Amino acid sequence: MKVYESEEMYLETILSLKNKKSLVRSVDIVEELGYAKSSVSRAVNLLAKKNYIQIKSTGEIVLTAEGKAKAESIFERHQVLKKALIKMGAEENSAEENACRIEHVISDDIFEIIKQFVSI
C-alpha cells in the first residue's frame, strides 16, 4: 500500500504496530512502510517535538496521551471510510488504499456524514 508521508500516517502506523507487538522501534516503522531509515528518523523526531510520542533510551517509541488520541481518531477515520467505500461497491483492496488517502484530507463535517451513512 503506497501512501504519502504525513505525521498522521506515522501515528496510525505506530498505533497499528503497537497493537501487534509489545514494543515499537523506528526499524519496525521502516519495515512496515518501506521508507528509508532517514525519512522515518526525521518523522519520528518531529513527532517527538510535537509531543505525540516519546522515544525511550532503549529506542522504544511510545505514544503520548495526545498522540494516542490523534492516532485512534485517524484509525477510526480509516476504518469508517474503508467500510463506506466497500458499501458503495469498491473492492476491499481499492477501498483500503483509497481510504488511506482520503482520511488525511477529509473535513470533520464530511467525515461525520460518511460515518452516519456507514451506520445506516
d(CA 80, CA 92): 13
What does the CA dihedral 24, 27, 32, 38 come to, rounded to 10 degrees?
130
d(CA 23, CA 9): 18
- What local confidence, expressed as pLDDT, does residue 45 receive? 95
d(CA 112, CA 109): 5
Partners of 54 in the beta sheet? 62
Query: What's the grid cell of residue 43?
Result: 518523522
The pTM assigned to this predicted structure is 0.83
- What local confidence, expressed as pLDDT, does residue 67 receive? 97
- What local confidence, expressed as pLDDT, does residue 120 receive? 75
- What local confidence, expressed as pLDDT, does residue 100 receive? 87
d(CA 53, CA 102): 24
- What local confidence, expressed as pLDDT, does residue 5 receive? 56
Cell numbers 469498491 correspond to 90
For each of the chain's 120 residues, which pLDDT tens digit applies? 333 458 888 999 999 999 999 899 999 999 999 999 999 999 999 999 999 999 999 999 999 999 999 999 999 999 999 999 999 999 999 999 999 889 888 999 999 999 999 987
Residue type, 4: Y
Residue 120 CB neighbour total at 10 angstroms: 5
Q: Which tens digit of pLDDT belongs to each residue from 78-95? A: 999 999 999 999 999 999
